[in-house]
Amino acid sequence: MGEQTEPGGSLVQAGPNAEAAGYPIDQQTAAALLGLVYARLRVSVLLTTGVSLTFVGLMAPFFPWRLLAVWLGVLQGVSLGRYLLWRRFSRANPLPGECGPWTRLFVAGAVAAGGSWAFGPMLLIREAGSVETVLLVVTLLSVSSVAVATLSAQFVAMQAFVASALLPARDSSSSTDFQCSTWCRTATAGTRSWRRPKPLRRPAPR
């Protein structure tokens, strides 16, 4: 995968690297899929920045601003780290045999991204009523559904993001607070529905 620099200074992939032709086809395929998700990473980071500002703005009337500011800072910090990861990958332009560490770094970034989204609801749930709880649930399920589409080329990273975004809700299952327990049940149900395929229906015998 060759590398070029656009007039604006951004990095783009120019095409398959001739040196990659000597690697097994499975490594070439894995490298192509990894390059695909890294190519989407910059756009994903920019979207996260905008979407997080939007969600925090919507929640501002319902939650203390200092808590929202902490959550927003975590989201932006993780986004910055993922952006720097994209820059390093674009400059390194790894060959198929060198993609292992970059795959692990991408998965780690997905875990951090999912955890940063889960951090807010875990921080805010004590301040939430029934309406606010629904807003938090919708936030988590929305970003998780988007991640399923954008990370589909790296299934492990997709699983890592969704799990780190939804499964921390189980940590609150011991709470006696009704809104908190409702949120936990909803988020957990979302995780199970994502993992479990629908059973096939057989026609009834005549």
- Give the predicted TM-score (pTM) of the model: 0.71
Express each pLDDT in 185-199 by its tens digit.
554 554 454 444 444
User: Does residue 116 fall inside a structural domain?
Assistant: yes
Q: What are phi and psi of 204, to 5 degrees?
A: -65, 140
Classify residue 112: in a domain, yes or no.
yes
Report if residue 152 sits inside a domain.
yes
178 lies in some domain? yes
Would residue 204 count as lying in a domain? no
Look at the chain and report how many structural domains it folds into.
1
Give me the domain span that covers residue 98: 25-195
Over residues 119-168, the pLDDT tens digits come to 988 888 777 777 777 878 888 888 888 888 888 888 888 989 999 888 87
- Output the CA torsion sign for 73, 123, 42, 97: positive
Give a yes or no: residue 200 inside a domain.
no
* pLDDT tens per residue, range 8-55: 444 444 444 545 556 667 778 888 888 888 888 888 888 888 888 888
11 DSSP 8-state letter:
E
